[in-house]
Amino acid sequence: MERCTAIVKLLTLREDSYWFQEPVPVDDVPDYLEIVPEPMDYSTIRDKIITGEYHDDHIAFAADMRKVFTNAVKYNWSPDHPCNVAARAGLRDFEALFARVTGATAGPGPTPPPQALPQRKRHRPSAGAGSSGGAGGHGGDGEKKARMRGTAGEAGAVGRDHQLIASLAEYLETCGGTSSMVNGWYTRTEVRKGGGTAGTFDTYFFSPAGKRFRSRAEIARFFELEAAPAKSSKSLDVEERKAHKAAEKEAKRVQREAASVARQAEVEAERALRDRYPVPDERLVDEEPPEPPLGPRPPPLPPYIDGIAPSRMGDVLQ
């Protein structure tokens, strides 16, 4: 199996091999398992080689390698999708390398990854030539060609949209529907802006009401067609886990709101207590209690009482 390991290593050197290096994150792509029930990737194949799961069965190894590319084409079914292009090129490379390893007749050499065509050098007009339209000018022709290229690009996008909608109509007919179900539907290609797949493209279907659909199988279930593909058990497990996480998140949110309401009630109670008793309780513990106020001073005795003999005090009191 050393040669099989070498094949995987050579394929990972392609610039577009990042599509197939690791398993597809099903949490980010919830409908992937509905369309691809048996995922496969380079890292899984390398692990199976290391653990000896293939033994010396080159056919089983080749089946898994082909599954990597066929899964990619099956999910990214648009021929213009970068992953579809990379999968078809990778499959051609694998077949050529595998033929050499097994001693079969080798096909054409590995296909280089798709690259942008080099831009032709634009010649600037000479100093004597005019910069605007006229007999000696090239500016008008350049603008006209740019408009023609823009018009051609728009026409190509419209043509691809019609082609994808026509393919969707045929698919719905095989599921028991009619082609009129997709009247007014359109497609749109969007670029992922976050996560590990940032920068990749996805093509979505949109109903006339603006509802977005990721796959044709999802649309068939939307129309409740009898032959619509059912969700796989793995997909149902993923949805169940997502629903469980959502329920936990909602419970935590409710708990946080209840705690916030309780804290606010405590703050309001403390504020009302401070308004009613301005002196804090902790200060009253350290202060000595004030002495009680003295009563009124008693009135002075009459002056004639002074100097009376005790023997006559009874007569005076009478």
What pLDDT, on the 0 to 100 scale, is given for residue 63? 92
Q: State which amino acid sits at residue 101.
A: V
pLDDT tens for 301-313 read 665 555 565 666 6
Is the predicted pLDDT of residue 236 greater than 60, yes or no? yes
More confident residue, 291 or 141: 291
As given in the structure block, the two tokens for residue 232 are 């796989």
How do strand 201-206 and strand 212-213 relate by DSSP bridges? Answer: antiparallel
Cβ atoms of 46 and 5 within 8 Å: the answer is: yes
Distance of alpha carbon 203 from alpha carbon 77, whole angstroms: 9
Distance of alpha carbon 20 from alpha carbon 223, whole angstroms: 33
pLDDT tens for 237-289 read 777 888 888 888 888 999 889 889 989 998 888 888 778 776 655 555 566 66
Is the predicted pLDDT of residue 152 greater than 70, yes or no? no
C-alpha distances (whole Å) from 120 to each of 87, 113, 123 are 29, 21, 9
pLDDT tens for 39-81 read 999 999 999 999 989 888 888 999 999 999 999 998 888 888 8
Is the predicted pLDDT of residue 121 greater than 50, yes or no? no
More confident residue, 221 or 22: 22
147 — pLDDT class (breaks 50, 70, 90): low
Q: Which residue has the tokens 């032709």?
A: 120
Percent share of the chain, pLDDT over 90:
16
pTM given for the model: 0.41
Most distant CA atoms of the chain, gap in Å? 157
More confident residue, 7 or 296: 7
Count of positions (residues) in the chain: 318
Distance of alpha carbon 39 from alpha carbon 276, whole angstroms: 70
Is the predicted pLDDT of residue 26 greater than 90, yes or no? no
Choice among 17-21, 90-94, 142-146, 285-289 with the minimum mean pLDDT: 142-146
What pLDDT, on the 0 to 100 scale, is given for residue 72? 92
135 — pLDDT class (breaks 50, 70, 90): very low
What's the DSSP call for residue 178? -
- The pLDDT of 177-196, averaged and rounded, is 80
What pLDDT, on the 0 to 100 scale, is given for residue 314? 62
66 exposure class (CB count in 10 Å sphere: 0-12, 13-18, 19+):
middle
163 — pLDDT class (breaks 50, 70, 90): confident
Residue 16 main-chain phi, psi, to 5 deg:
-100, 15
29 — pLDDT class (breaks 50, 70, 90): confident
- The pLDDT of 82-87, averaged and rounded, is 91
CA 167, 173, 179 angle in degrees (round to 5)? 70
Distance of alpha carbon 260 from alpha carbon 318, whole angstroms: 81
Percent share of the chain, pLDDT over 70:
67
Distance of alpha carbon 145 from alpha carbon 152, whole angstroms: 10
More confident residue, 178 or 227: 178
What pLDDT, on the 0 to 100 scale, is given for residue 118? 44
127 — pLDDT class (breaks 50, 70, 90): very low
C-alpha distances (whole Å) from 102 to each of 37, 93, 110, 163, 285 are 29, 14, 16, 40, 93
First to last CA, the chain: 139
Distance of alpha carbon 72 from alpha carbon 245, whole angstroms: 29
Contacts made by residues 4-8, CB under 8 angstroms, sequence distance 24+: 4/49, 4/54, 4/58, 4/61, 4/101, 5/46, 5/49, 7/65, 7/94, 7/97, 7/98, 7/101, 8/42, 8/45, 8/46, 8/49, 8/65
281 exposure class (CB count in 10 Å sphere: 0-12, 13-18, 19+):
exposed
Cβ atoms of 66 and 72 within 8 Å: the answer is: no
What pLDDT, on the 0 to 100 scale, is given for residue 140? 52
